[in-house]
Amino acid sequence: MTVETLKEAIIELPEEERHSLVAWLNGLDYDDWDREMARDFSPGGRGAHLVEKVKREIAEGKARPMQEGFAQHRKRSQ
């Protein structure tokens, strides 16, 4: 089966089934993305050094809760 054949078949689907197919395809992409993120930020992954940096900054008291940071940003913006 070719991509063109698939495209033609998708066009023929009722709207509800087409939406269901789109949701399923998007789920596949998100699953792939989730797996890639897990690999990248696991020990030895490309982003593992960033995780370690953030953990160090938290331990050193250089981080604050997001809500606190947002509130401070809003105050400066007023």
Q: Is 38 helix (H, G, I), strand (E, B) or coil?
A: helix
Band (39; pLDDT cuts 50, 70, 90):
very high
Spell out the domain ranges in the chain: 41-78
Residues 20, 24, 29, 32: what is their CA dihedral angle, to the nearest 10 degrees?
170
Ramachandran sector of residue 61 (left: φ over 0; alpha: ψ -120 to 50; beta: rest): left
Site of tokens 């792939």: 32
Site of tokens 């699953």: 31
pLDDT digits (tens, 9 = 90+) for 5-30: 999 999 999 999 999 999 999 888 88
Rg (CA), the chain: 22
- Give residue 32's pLDDT: 85
Q: Are 62 and 53 in contact (CB under 8 A)?
A: no
